[in-house]
Chains A and B, each alone.
Chain A
Amino acid sequence: MSAPTGGTHPEAKGLYPWLDRRYGITPLIEFLKHKEVPIGSHSMIWYYLGGITLFFFTIQLVSGVLLLAYYQAGESTSYESIRFITTKVPFGWLVRSMHCWSAHLMILSLVTHMLSTMVLKAYRPPRELTWITGFLLFAFALGFGFSGYLLPWNELAFFATAVGTDSMKAVPGIGEWLLQVMRGGTDVSINTLYRFFALHVVVLPLLTVGIVAFHLIFIQRQGMAAPMAHDKPGRGMKFFPDFALRDLLLWLVCLIALASLAVFLPYGPGIPGMEWELGKKANPLAPAYPGIKPEWYFLWVYQLLKEFPAHLFGMEGSQAAIALVSVLFAVWALVPWLDRDARSNRASPAFTDLAMAALVFLAYLTLKAWDIGGGEGPLPDVRAVARACAYWGLVVAAATVVFRFAMGSARFFDFTAAAALQIVLHGFLGVSYLAAGAIAVLLLAVSLGVRMLRSRNAARATVGGAPR
């Protein structure tokens, strides 16, 4: 087999022909020239979210490598070196605050990207693996956040990591082992930091870069998913230069926003779970204090763990909670196979509704974890929090409904209704969170069952009526 020759004349001079003769670039260029991005009836913005996430990830890589130039992992150096970076090294403050801001923005855009994929049903065949790789990337991003949080070795991170890793022991069978492996001992110590450091700067970046490559290759091979209503190839936007330039434009906007945030709010917006003031150095012997919270994207798990009683169905409460979270994640990962309508290219409003319900569910838990409306005291009033957050939770639910009407996919509301019902029962009527959830799930099951029976009857009716 001969080496690729591309399309240039074998005698032609210059760098391009030289490269083309060796690596066959011309077909690639041709591919890019003809690559098109489908234009749907919906807003194009959803197509840029992946690119934006990639952009923030690149910022993470660059700023992360820069931080490595001064960061020293160690009991008496981690905290000190971060301090040194932010106070003494020229522009060190900028690098750290960009790294932190970009981390949060990356997760934000990633989650939005995932939700939009869900709503547009872009996961449907043949793109299941794109969804799965995306899901993996989401998991890695959470891992990045969790492991990176500990690295400054400050008090808040120490406690949050202690609490966060502790939930690992709820994993059935291997929990205790897993916990010790993660912590490098029975308790969080500097050994934990070494492990997290390796995870954060070597393991996860390698995995992520690899999976990102697959994710992108899949997209390049299959093209971007056209929206359902517009599946036939037709009007499209040229990827190059039209789409790429727009991508670039958006990245510039993101960079401007990122730089401004990093300069004016170098320690984050000051929302619990979204701030990175260094504070005090970690002291394993210091007593914990109220208000220890993980980063905002973990808040819902944190809150869910709080909602569970000490024991439930013969399981420990945290075990039950972790089981529930695992089930939710599994369902989420398997959506491309669960959504049969989308598989056969029919509209599937149920899964749009599921995505929206998930949003409402997560929003309510997160709001509760922020103790919104809990008063000024060190320990917030739980009832008042549930009530105040219920208002906001319903606002979110209403917003999703409005959004869906605007999108023109307002047909199926069972999931959102169930999520809203739980909020109402818990927030306004004082039913416990779990009981409210159980009632909502029960009603949801009933309504889904009725729907299924009805559609089966309808199918039978048409089948029965056919010979006549």
Chain B
Amino acid sequence: MIALCAVLLLAAPADESKYPAPLKEFLAAKNKDGSPVLGDADRKALAALPDHTRDLLGAAAESVILGSAAHLKILLSLDLPPAALELVAQDNCILCHSDPGNQKGKTLFATDPPARKSNPLLNLKEFVSDVHFRRGLSCSGCHGGKPSDEMMTKDVYARWPKEDVRHSDRSWIPGFCANCHADSNFMRGFNPTLPTDQLAKYQTSQHGILLLQEKDSRAAQCVSCHGVHGIRNSRSRLSSVHVQRIPDTCGACHSDAKRMEGFRLADGTPLPTNQVAQYKESVHGKALLVKGDLGAPTCTGCHRSHAAMPPDCHSQYAKDNQQCAATAVSFRNALDTLVAGRAEITAPLERLAERGLDVEPLSRTASDLDEALVQTRSKVHTFDLSSFQAAAQPGNDAIAKGRELIAEERREARFRTRGLLAAIGFMSLIAAGIALKLREIGKRRIT
């Protein structure tokens, strides 16, 4: 504790007297009940900032865009690194729209929108974590205008379709995002490894065809999956497109029967809405969501992300293909056989062990079988019957061996019981003999 204080003191020679004048005023501001608006924690956070950042905040306060001590308190509570706080301090859009004294209701960026009755999309905390914001692309980057504007300008409305249109017709969105994201030269400056073909792929996808060609705005576009303010890198667990969250993100629409009403599969049957529920029960869903195996396939693993299409294999080959169907059935059967065999040879293990029989070979066989099961399962996706069967063979051998071992153990158990009975028989014979002798002796004594 003391060490921590010392570090803080060293890091921030917090001489409040050197603060810009407006900040000093904010520090002096009191709540209605007389307590200071900026508590100790806020003071400490303020003190920890570099002078430069504090000066920028001072300048914002000077121009009244940083309106009050309460407003400053909100910004400090975001716990931003100094560089990000500097972005905020110089961005009039976000400053103005985060000031509860300035904006009311739906246009206020709040740390907790529902409490402020604001638009849930205007979450200040989410916004300052946004991958775009963190890389310097703030409000004006999409909405238009300049961060230095002190008033809303015409530019701010110029980039998008009119408000009454843009909400009912979403087809402008993919193109809008692609302004940057399809520009490989531009994107290289931020993330050289990020692909720039998302729009091209999207146009070929079912979603893209629906939205762009059939003008059906129920179809998913960029923000449906990625969100708006608060987009994160897909590696972040908080991202809506993190592998483990993808099932729910897709499910938001695809599990909603009402929303999916009217959509049909190629063969005319209604689009099912139980895929996510089924997925979560499947071996893949369990692996991804329960075991936490991030390598396990999620929706996009087969259906693709931007080029969302039904899996190629099924649409192009498997449909009505006798051979595929037969192979799938034989895969299923072979796996079922192995699983059933495993249950069969492990079931009597405990009882046999209790009887004192040597179950070690049997349990070794069971683990051989487990190994074979894993191997076999992984061969399903080769769609190659012969390599699948080659992998399943050791499993079948293990089952056969297990059966043999069990039969052997049972024989041994029977042998033990019979041996015991024989021995007991002989001993009873002797016992009976002795008892008779004793009786005879007793009789002789009496006579």
Contacts and interface: CB of A to CB of B under 8 A. Distances in A.
> What secondary structure prevails in chain A residues at the interface with B?
helix
A252 B354 contact: no
A267 B358 CA distance: 13
Nearest to A83: B360
Contacts of A93: 356-357
A86 interface: yes
Interface in B403-442: 416-417, 419-420, 423-424, 427-428, 430-431, 434-435, 437-438, 441
Contacts of A241: 437, 441
B356 A86 contact: yes
A249 B419 CA distance: 21
A9 interface: no
Contacts of B430: 252
Contacts of A86: 356, 358
A97 to B, nearest CB: 6
Nearest to A97: B356
Contacts of A249: 431, 434-435, 438
Interface in A246-282: 246, 248-249, 252-253, 255-256, 259-260, 263-264, 266-267
Interface string B201-219: 0000000000000000000
B135 interface: no
B355 interface: yes
A267 B441 contact: no
B431 A260 contact: no
Chain A interface size, under 10 / 10 to 19 / 20 to 34 / 35 or more? 20 to 34
Chain B interface size, under 10 / 10 to 19 / 20 to 34 / 35 or more? 20 to 34
A242 B428 contact: no
A252 B358 CA distance: 29
Contacts of A255: 427
> What secondary structure prevails in chain B residues at the interface with A?
helix
Contact of B438 (A88, A242, A264): A242
Contact of A87 (B360, B419, B420): B360
B19 to A, nearest CB: 57
A245 interface: yes
Interface in B244-292: none
A405 to B, nearest CB: 31
A267 B356 contact: yes
A94 B434 CA distance: 27
A260 B434 CA distance: 21
Given A87-B358, A87-B360, A241-B441, A259 B420 contact: yes
Contacts of B360: 87
Given A263-B417, A263-B420, A256 B354 contact: no
B441 A260 contact: no
A74 B416 CA distance: 31
Interface in B344-362: 354-358, 360
B356 A266 contact: yes
A242 B441 contact: yes
B423 A253 contact: no
Contacts of A242: 438, 441
Interface string B310-331: 0000000000000000000000
Given A86-B356, A245-B434, A249-B434, A256 B416 contact: no
Contact of A263 (B358, B416, B437): B416
A50 to B, nearest CB: 19
Contact of A260 (B358, B420, B438): B420
A242 B360 CA distance: 50
Contacts of A245: 434, 437-438, 441
A252 B427 contact: yes
A6 to B, nearest CB: 26
B443 to A, nearest CB: 12
A264 B419 CA distance: 12
A264 B434 CA distance: 27
B358 to A, nearest CB: 4
A216 B438 CA distance: 25
Interface in A217-265: 241-242, 245-246, 248-249, 252-253, 255-256, 259-260, 263-264
Nearest to B424: A256
Contacts of B355: 264, 266
Contacts of B357: 93
B354 A267 contact: yes
A252 B434 CA distance: 10
Given A241-B441, A242-B438, A252-B430, A260 B424 contact: yes
Contacts of A263: 416-417, 419-420
B434 A248 contact: yes
B427 A256 contact: yes
Contacts of B438: 242, 245-246, 249
Interface in A49-103: 86-88, 93-94, 97
A256 B356 contact: no
Contacts of B358: 86-88
Contacts of B417: 263
A97 B356 CA distance: 9
Contacts of B434: 245, 248-249, 252
Nearest to A247: B434
A35 to B, nearest CB: 16
A62 to B, nearest CB: 15
A57 B230 CA distance: 81
Contacts of A248: 434
B441 A252 contact: no
Contacts of A87: 358, 360
B210 to A, nearest CB: 58
B41 to A, nearest CB: 42
Given A245-B437, A248-B434, A259 B356 contact: no
14 contacts: A97-B356, A242-B441, A245-B437, A249-B431, A249-B434, A249-B438, A252-B430, A252-B431, A256-B424, A256-B427, A259-B423, A263-B416, A263-B417, A266-B356
Given A245-B438, A256-B427, A260-B424, 4 more contacts: A245-B437, A245-B441, A249-B435, A255-B427
Interface of B: 354-358, 360, 416-417, 419-420, 423-424, 427-428, 430-431, 434-435, 437-438, 441
Give 10 closest A-B pairs by Cβ, nearest first: A266-B356, A87-B358, A263-B420, A252-B431, A93-B356, A249-B434, A252-B427, A245-B434, A256-B424, A256-B427
